[in-house]
Structure 1
Amino acid sequence: MTGAFVAVVGPSGSGKDSIIEHTRAVLEGRGAIVFPRRQITRPSGAGEDHIPVSESEFDTADRLGEFALTWRAHDLAYGIPANVFDVVEAGGVVVANVSRGVLAQLPNLFANVRVVRVTVSEEVRLERIVARGREDAIAAASRVARLDPAPDYPADLEIVNDGTIEDASAQLAAFLTSMRDAARAAL
């Protein structure tokens, strides 16, 4: 594999999806950087542009090998499409929001894995989680209190998301562009 899989991780409410979406728009048309849509057993709504599926649809897709990676978190199932293997093999850079709990699995799937960790204060996280309206205040507080499942996993880039979305996105875009350029140089 000549490309790279870039795992964007961080706690709920840190702004991962917002940063990814803004970066996708900034880099659109520049080629070789792919932002796959995850399948999630959650209805569509405000926030991440995902493919909503039922539990049975998810289980069928998983059984048929349609995912490169799956995990469960917050009573939901998440899947990254299997076509990301082809993108990385062809020298592309795949960027996906993944659970910190699956980081240890990634080197078994991809030869070149990079990790971007997004952080923000707990107060801001709680405000963001409540504002998106998916959970009540008790469930939101529970998300903020959840322990990091991979606190010591090394990150190649840390984005402290306490500024503007443009600033955070610029950091991610520069990192991804350098990954893409390195993959192209290796071809």
Structure 2
Amino acid sequence: MTGTFVAVVGPSGAGKDSVLDVARKRFAADPSVVFPRRIITRPYGPGEDHRAVTIAEFAELAHGGAFALTWRAHGLDYGIGIDVATHVADGAVAVVNVSRTVLADLPQHFPRFAVVRVTVSEEVRRARLTQRGREDHTTVRARLARPDPAPDHAIDLEIVNDGTVEEAGARLAGFVRRLWLGHPASEISIGRTPQKAASRPKVPR
């Protein structure tokens, strides 16, 4: 029985972590839906739940095979622990905020995966980046200047996060629950080119 890896992508300031937090609370009692913490070479900051490590610690973890996925962005190293692969192999749905640059690597690690893109208007994005307090003004400007082209991979769900975070989180949670029940992503939303998906037993609740 194989689960599903849900890759949540989108530009900085789109509110991905907040949307994930709303969805995470809805599955707090469901061990078959997990939200793995990212490992980042950045100190703890407001509005983000991650494991902070030094550059040397990150390199040591990578050398020891501790990561399922890694990427570098904004001068920082990001990683997802190898335990996520175990969760998915055991039938769980794992929902993770990742960079669009790793989407091409997903088929090598996860037989079943789906892509969710969170977007937001530039005006709202600018305000959120300024208000969240993680970076200085120079870093905020650099994030705003970084282009955010649509990922090369098809999108299974696009969430425009200009409304309330509860609304956006509810959309993500609904999508995840249907994956958890065994529905192929192509039957849940428009975006992916339809293709025959392997059947998967339903995860008991």
Q: Which residue of 2 aligns with 1:38?
A: 38
Q: Which residue of 2 aligns with 1:14?
A: 14
Work out whether residues 103 and 150 of structure 1, in 8 Å CA contact, stay in contact via their aligned partners in 2: no
RMSD of aligned C-alpha atoms?
Answer: 1.6
Matches within 5 A, 1:73-84: 73-84=73-84
Matches of 1:84 and 1:27, distance apart in 2 = 16
Number of the residue aligned with 2:68: 68
Instruction: Report the alpha carbon displacement of residue 150 of structure 1 after superposing the two structures with TM.
Output: 4.8
Which AA in structure 2 matches 1:49? D
For the 8 Å contact 1:9–1:98, the answer to whether it is kept is yes
Moved more, 141-150 or 81-90: 141-150
* TM alignment of 1:98-109, pairs within 5 A: 98-109=98-109
Deviation at 1:109, TM superposition (A): 1.0
Question: 1:178, 1:169 → 2: CA distance?
Answer: 14
**Residue 153 of structure 2: SS of its match in structure 1?**
coil
Q: Per-residue displacement from partner, 1:48-106 (whole Å, max 9, x unpaired)?
A: 11000000000000000010000010011011000111111111001000001111111
1:133 and 2:133 aligned: yes
- Give the drift of 1:127: 0.8
2:179 matches 1:179: yes
| CA distance 1:43–1:68, change in 2 (3 Å) | same
C-alpha contact 2:45 2:134 (8 A) present in aligned 1: no
- Provide the residue aligned with 2:122 in structure 1: 122
Worse-matched range after superposition: 28-37 or 177-186:
177-186
Q: Partners in 1 of 2:152 and 2:78 — Cα distance?
A: 23
Matched, 1:111 2:129: no
TM-score (norm 2): 0.86
Unaligned runs of 5+ in 1: none
- The Cα of 1:149 is off from its aligned counterpart by 5.5
Structure 1's consecutive aligned runs of 4 or more residues displaced over 4 angstroms after TM superposition are none
User: Residues 115 and 155 of structure 1 are in contact (CA less than 8 Å); yes or no, is this contact kept in structure 2?
Assistant: yes
Specify every segment of 5 or more residues in structure 2 that has no aligned partner in the other structure, as ranges. Answer: 183-199
Q: Within the alignment, does 1:49 sit opposite 2:66 as a pair? A: no
Q: Which moved more, 1:135-144 or 1:12-21?
A: 135-144
Distance 1:84 1:133 in 2: 29
How many Å apart are 1:184 and its aligned residue?
Answer: 4.2
Find the counterpart in structure 2 of residue 147 from structure 1.
Answer: 147
Residue aligned with 1:39, SS: strand
Q: Is the 8 A contact 1:100 1:148 kept in 2?
A: no
Matched residue count: 187
Amino acid at match of 2:137: A
SS in 1 for 2:140: helix
Letter of the structure 2 residue corresponding to residue 140 of structure 1:
V
Q: Cα–Cα, structure 1 residues 149 and 121, in superposed 2: closer, same or farther, change >3 Å?
A: closer
TM-score (norm 1): 0.94
Q: Does 76-85 or 141-150 show the bigger shift?
A: 141-150
Cα distance in 1, alignment partners of residues 151 and 109 from structure 2? 21
